[in-house]
């Protein structure tokens, strides 16, 4: 995409299906993004190079998804002052708990916002990034408001449908 403002980094290509909801949300909001595979352990120089130059390349936020040891978000945050949002990817021997703990237990001074393990993690990472962008972009803020109202209305409609079904 031209002029991407969000970078989505994954430790492995197999992580894509688990964070695909983030891509879908960003597409729905017409947010330009890049998706890359880079590993904190197997390609540390590439991670470092990318994140050190991310701001000068126009990125405003980095989303980093990884499973198991999940150091991608932390290594990324160590090399940039951009907001970093970590997605602990579910899988492995501990079903994502190890990834969650690695993502949320960052040392003081190296902040990473951590999303949930599981299907909500990618979606929430994208929405959190959009909330950050909306602070300085009125068009994005308006799209976010419409999205929030649409979610609210869907829940109200679901409740109305249920009440109608139960009261028959």
Phi and psi angles of residue 64, each rounded to the nearest 5 degrees, phi first: -125, 120
Q: What pLDDT band is residue 130 in, cutting at 50, 70 and 90?
A: very high
**Same domain, yes or no, for 114 and 87?**
yes
CB < 8 Å & 24+ apart, contacts of 136-143: 140/29, 140/31, 143/29, 143/30
CB 73 within 8 A of CB 11: no
Give the total number of structural domains in the chain. Answer: 2
Q: Is 116 exposed, middle or buried (0-12, 13-18, 19+ CB in 10 A)?
A: middle
Give the range of the structural domain holding residue 23, as residue numbers without chain letter.
6-136
Give the per-residue pLDDT at 31: 98
Distance CA 104, CA 129 (A): 17
Distance CA 128, CA 72 (A): 18
| Alpha helix positions (H), the chain | 16-28, 44-53, 72-78, 97-104, 119-134, 138-166
Distance CA 72, CA 161 (A): 44
CATH number at residue 29: 3.40.50.1970
Residue 1 belongs to some domain of the structure: no
Q: Does this model's pTM top 0.85?
A: yes
Residue 13 belongs to some domain of the structure: yes
Give the per-residue pLDDT at 50: 98
Q: How many CB atoms lie within 10 A of CB 128?
A: 17
pLDDT in tens, 10-44: 999 999 998 999 999 999 999 999 999 999 999 99
């Amino acid at each position: 995409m031209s002029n991407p403002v969000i970078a989505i980094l994954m430790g492995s290509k197999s992580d894509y299906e688990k964070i695909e909801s983030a891509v879908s949300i960003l597409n729905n909001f017409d947010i330009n993004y890049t998706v890359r595979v880079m590993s904190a352990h197997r390609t540390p120089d590439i991670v470092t190079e990318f994140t050190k130059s991310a701001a000068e390349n126009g990125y405003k936020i980095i989303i980093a998804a990884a499973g198991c040891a999940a150091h991608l978000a932390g290594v990324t945050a160590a090399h940039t002052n951009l907001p970093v949002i970590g997605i602990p990817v579910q899988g492995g021997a501990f079903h994502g708990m190890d990834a969650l703990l690695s993502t949320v237990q960052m040392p003081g001074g190296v902040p990473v916002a951590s999303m949930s393990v599981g299907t909500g993690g990618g979606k929430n990472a994208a929405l959190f990034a959009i909330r950050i962008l909306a602070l300085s972009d009125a068009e994005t803020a308006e799209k976010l408001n419409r999205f929030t109202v649409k979610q609210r209305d869907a829940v109200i409609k679901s409740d109305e449908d249920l009440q109608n079904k139960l009261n028959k």
